Structure 1
Amino acid sequence: MDLAGVHGTSLEPLPLQMGDRAMPHDPATPQDSLAVNSWNEWDPLEEMIVGSADNASFEPTEPGSRPAIRNRPETPFPTGPKSQEAVDLANEELAGLADLLRSQGVTVRRPGPHDFSAPVRTPDFEVENQYCAVCPRDVMITMGNEIIEATMSRRARYFEYQPYRKLVYEYWNSDPRVGWTTAPKPSMADGMYREEFWDWPLEKRHERMHSFEFCVHQDEVVFDAADISRLGRDILVQESMTTNRAGVHWLKRHLEPRGFRVHAVHFPLDFFPSHIDCTFVPVRPGLILTNPDRPLREGEEAMFLRNDWELVDVPEPVLGNHEMPQYCQSSKWLSMNVLSISPTKVVVEEQEKPLQDLMAKLDFEVFTVPFRNVFEYGGSLHCATWDVRRRGTREDYFPDLDYRPLV
């Protein structure tokens, strides 16, 4: 398919890829790397990157983002560096998560220093400052023995891979079996965005919810890594404000020759979708936590039900949308942004007692850490981590699945 086109070209929303043609011959599963190895969201965790709030700034207003103070939208959003108090509070909680992981035998690494107050200027755009390194999950993802750097979708996050680059070189140099791919950087020029999107009333969003057209056009490859969820051989990618259909096509064309099956998924009742890990969260083989406010598009649940997966709605969060931190741009559903240490161990935010009880009922050993001060930076436990190594191999958790590859 030719993705080139004039500004505004729209690809059809990608269906979940099921059909009557079998997957072509799988290439041999690559030899496991001792440095980089992670095929899903739940295998026993061995090495993890935990984010840092050092030198963080407020995310600026730009075509892909219009931050607003919660409950005070008429008040101008702050600009420039975060206060040292806000940075210290978040760093204390991030350090607490790192300590918990170490207590479970996990090697923990942290991103390098970066000046997020520095402006960015390219031939296509400029922005007054950058954002933060709290959420490595947004930028980096491990696909088996390969590290992939996402394109990103916002100007302030264009260079957010830099705090992780020294670590990536270390992994890449340590083992010739480690792959490293940087996805093509989009222009982030004005024409890449649909700026009128921000002015649509909710009624118009509801009318257009099945077209899955958001603030980014379809001409360039755009995706955030946090819109991806790994289930062994099968990869889920959410079409969203931060991942367009060209981004899904790029991932399919890159991953299918390596033996993966890539499925686009949609949540039509989420009018501002951004990152799948507060909506559809796999925690072990056969079990996915689901968001009761954001059901899958009709028909897309068949892949899971036919293969005996259980979809379990999470309880209402302890905090409502109006009680979230005032500078947080995420929804109350950060509550379900849990982190799996293994198929039997999960980390849940300290105050989310209803979710903790559900996970215990589902036979998990539940660990808790306070994380509310990290919410201001756009993520919770899963967002604030990037798993580099889990103990396991690529498995097929969907044996009853016909798949139509893109190429």
Structure 2
Amino acid sequence: MQLNSFDEWSPLREAIVGSATNYTSHERELSFDLFFHDNLANDNASRSEWYYPRLSPSGQGQSPASSRLPIKQRYVDELNEDLAGIAQALQSLGVTVHRPMNVDASTSRVQTPAWEASVVPPLNVRDNTLIVGDEIIETPPMIRSRYFETKFLGPVFNEYFRQGARWTVMPRPWMTDASFDLSYARNTAGGPTEPIEDPQQSPYDVGMEMMIDGAQCLRLGRDLVVNIATVNHAMGCDWLERHLEGRFRVHRVHKLSDSHIDSMVLALRPGTLLVRSEAVADKLPEPLRKWDLIVPPEPKHNNFPQYDDDDLILTSPFIDLNVLSTSPDTVLVNEACPELMRKLEQQGFTVVPVRHRHRRLFGGGFHCFTLDTVRDGGAEDYLG
């Protein structure tokens, strides 16, 4: 089928489900700490101070071993089981599922002239790609280890391109320390300390650069709502506005979170939003404040696995708000969240429970792990 995806709820026909094959570690460095700032600061209580060893400039040796935090293999194995379950659930609903290329076990590093880092598999495929109608837009990455992540989606993108899709790559940043706007982290309690006070110079410094993720965008027909927390995001949004002018309207919201919007607010159908709290709606464009709000119950601690002190928590307890709609009345929800399932059923939704155990360790829920490429909807005007 041809690429066509304008919103978050129209009947889903095709989607990409991410891969965690050969996911071995997290690498603590500036871009990682800034991206996960809110949760590193607030959800790892056993760690009193954050520090990252410097990434070595390319050609000057490897990064210090202590910067790489191994992930226990049993978590990766269980994550791969759960990804297979997500794919099976979608297929049972008539959705064609595509999978990215896997990271080969021999590929452990990503390297540019400015830096090197560990490589991350294409798991959270929502992040580095924005689908707008019949166009694939590869967005400029925000984490160094994910710099070439969209290359693993290349075979799927190639096929859509052959079928007529547009395919655009936003400018790629150098991602030196000077590229990042540090103001959000500096002005937020907690979080990484050393990289905020002592960014390192590089011969490749060009000043702040555009960096923005597709998951910062809420798609509503011909409208995009984009979360902006840094100068990097604002520059990326500038690019989107100019590139999409005449086809889509772009609406900015500010500091809903440090980056992604899809664990703060999701549109489940026209006129209905799932929001973390009513306060979130106050920051949305005025027409969206008139939509019905579903506020989920507070997450229960027994909904999550218990982890060891050396396991790095990357998402807040609200990660299960990150659901995936397959139609205006059908939603994939984590089976560990009976309270959320009951809430959605009370609002007339059909809930499809699916297992997803380690979402707090791998930074994503069902919406993050999937990229919808074909839906039935079009460029409707939902905001007036």
- For the criterion TM > 0.5, the same-fold answer is yes
Amino acid in structure 2 at the alignment position of 1:60: E
Asked if structure 1 preserves the Cα contact closer than 8 Å seen for 2:181 and 2:232, the reply is: no
Amino acid in structure 2 at the alignment position of 1:232: G
* 1:122 to 2:125 alignment: no
Partner in structure 2 of residue 304 of structure 1: 288
- In 2, Cα distance between the equivalents of 1:78 and 1:221? 26
Partner in structure 1 of residue 167 of structure 2: 180
1:343 to 328, 332, 350: 328
Determine what percentage of the aligned residue pairs are the same residue.
34
TM-score, normalised to structure 2, is 0.82
* 1:384 to 2:384 alignment: no
- In 1, Cα distance between the equivalents of 2:119 and 2:279? 30
Partner in structure 2 of residue 135 of structure 1: 124
- In 1, Cα distance between the equivalents of 2:303 and 2:334? 16
2:251 to 233, 244, 263: 263
* Mean Cα deviation higher: 275-284 or 132-141: 132-141
- In 2, Cα distance between the equivalents of 1:111 and 1:309? 36
Partner in structure 2 of residue 360 of structure 1: 345
Provide, for residues 264-317 of structure 1, a one-character-per-residue CA deviation record: whole Å limited to 9, x for no partner: 11245x4xx22110001111011111112862455x452224xx4223322211
Taking a change above 3 Å as real, the CA distance of residues 266 and 197 of structure 1, as seen in their structure-2 partners, is closer
Taking a change above 3 Å as real, the CA distance of residues 204 and 335 of structure 1, as seen in their structure-2 partners, is closer
Partner in structure 2 of residue 99 of structure 1: 88
* 1:373 to 2:345 alignment: no
| Structure 2 gap segments, 5+ residues each | 52-65, 193-205
Amino acid in structure 1 at the alignment position of 2:46: R
Provide, for residues 334-376 of structure 1, a one-character-per-residue CA deviation record: whole Å limited to 9, x for no partner: 0200000100100111111111111101110001011022432
- In 1, Cα distance between the equivalents of 2:331 and 2:322? 11
Amino acid in structure 2 at the alignment position of 1:276: I
- State the Cα distance separating 1:203 from its structure 2 match: 8.7
Asked if structure 2 preserves the Cα contact closer than 8 Å seen for 1:57 and 1:132, the reply is: no
- In 2, Cα distance between the equivalents of 1:320 and 1:246? 41
Partner in structure 2 of residue 316 of structure 1: 298
Asked if structure 2 preserves the Cα contact closer than 8 Å seen for 1:152 and 1:158, the reply is: yes
- State the Cα distance separating 1:162 from its structure 2 match: 1.5
- In 1, Cα distance between the equivalents of 2:321 and 2:135? 27
| Structure 1 gap segments, 5+ residues each | 1-33, 206-216, 400-407
1:70 to 22, 37, 44: 44
Amino acid in structure 1 at the alignment position of 2:178: G
Amino acid in structure 1 at the alignment position of 2:180: Y
- In 1, Cα distance between the equivalents of 2:312 and 2:297? 24
What are the within-5 Å matches in structure 2 for residues 210-359 of structure 1?
Answer: 219-240=208-229, 244-257=233-246, 259-267=247-255, 270=257, 273-292=258-277, 295-296=280-281, 300-305=284-289, 308-319=290-301, 325=307, 326-359=311-344
What are the within-5 Å matches in structure 2 for residues 27-66 of structure 1?
Answer: 34-66=1-33
* 1:161 to 2:145 alignment: no
User: Counterpart of 1:88 in 2: which secondary structure?
Assistant: helix
Provide, for residues 97-128 of structure 1, a one-character-per-residue CA deviation record: whole Å limited to 9, x for no partner: 1111111111011111224852222122222x
Amino acid in structure 1 at the alignment position of 2:277: P
- In 1, Cα distance between the equivalents of 2:188 and 2:210? 27
Partner in structure 1 of residue 61 of structure 2: none
Partner in structure 2 of residue 397 of structure 1: 382
Amino acid in structure 2 at the alignment position of 1:181: T
